[in-house]
Structure formats: C-alpha cells, structure tokens
A = this chain, B = another copy of it.
Amino acid sequence: MSLPHAVLTSLLEKTTSGYDLARRFDKSIGYFWHATHQQIYRELARMEAAGWIEGFVPPDAGKTRKKHYRVLPAGRRELARWAAEPTPPMDLRDAFTVKLRADAVLDEVDLAPELQRHLSLHMQQLAHYRHIEAHDFAPGRPLTRAQAIQHMILKKGILYEEGEITWGREMLALLQSPAPLGAPHRA
C-alpha cells in the first residue's frame, strides 16, 4: 500500500488540489507510481477521514469548487513510519515479455510492429528525461541533499529507458531476422 504515501509525499512537496495532484502524478512521481485521478480523490478522502491531511478552500478559489489539502503532523509521522519500514523490491508486470513467450510457443504472431512502437515511446521518454536533466541539473552546480536525491531518481529513469532501448533494438533485429536457410524456424 504505497499510493497514500506517494500522495503524502507529493503534498509535502507542494500543498495543492486533487486535480493538480492527478496532473503532477502524470508527469513526475507517476513515472514510478502511476495513479488515476479517481484513485487520488479516493485516497484524499480516506486520508482526510484518517486525520493525515486537511482540506481547505484556497484564497484564490473564487466561486470554483477547488479544494486544497495540506499534510497534518499525523500524516507526516505516517509517511516517516512507512519509509522506515522494509518493502519488497518492485515486481515487474511486463506484458510484452509474456507476449514474447507466447510467440516462442505459438510461432504465429509478429511482434515486431509492437516492439517498434514501444521503442519509440521509450525514446520519447528518454528524451524527456534528458531535457529535464539538462534544465534542472546542469553539471558542476552544487546540489543540496534533496536535489542530489531528485537527480538520482531521474537517473534511474534514464537508465531504465536506455536499457529498454538497447535491449529492444537487439530484440527487434531477432524478430526481423529471416529463418536460417536449411534450418526452418517453424516446426
């Protein structure tokens, strides 16, 4: 159960609304812990009931329904408690790898186009990460501890995308290679 903790973290970084949280999830913490806006609204309601956060109408609300949330001491304590607790390493849920195994056993699907598509998505994401890196972490500039951690998180994303791309290219070559002469690959 990490979604509430991801939300708490995001709220500590910046007190804001459910809507904004959902949008920020899509392009920062969500790269490592995805959530839809419905999940976020649900968690906000639960955490408010639990006394971890508090909702309030922001000064600039005007006539809108906008509601902001701030983290209460109990929420901060809960986040620290969870962070100190051991959790198992991430487990993968990679549908494409399952498809590859299906291909190996069926030998009647062509996964090349799908892999091509994933490859270009990974290249886009990598370009995006590199852009952020160039903008926020220019070399030589001294970093606070918090910034150094943020940079390492970004680097993890970069490393991941690079790995996907390197592997994907080799895999694509294999999927596109013709059956060797004299050794037909279809049994």
Contacts and interface: CB of A to CB of B under 8 A. Distances in A.
A181 interface: no
Contacts of A163: 159-160, 163
Interface string A146-157: 101110110110
Total copies of this chain within the assembly: 2
A76 interface: yes
A96 B90 CA distance: 8
Interface residues of A, number: 72
Interface of A: 2, 5-6, 8-9, 12-13, 29, 31-34, 76, 79-80, 82-84, 86-87, 89-111, 114, 117-118, 121-122, 142, 144-146, 148-150, 152-153, 155-156, 159-160, 163-164, 166-167, 170-171, 174, 179, 183, 185-186
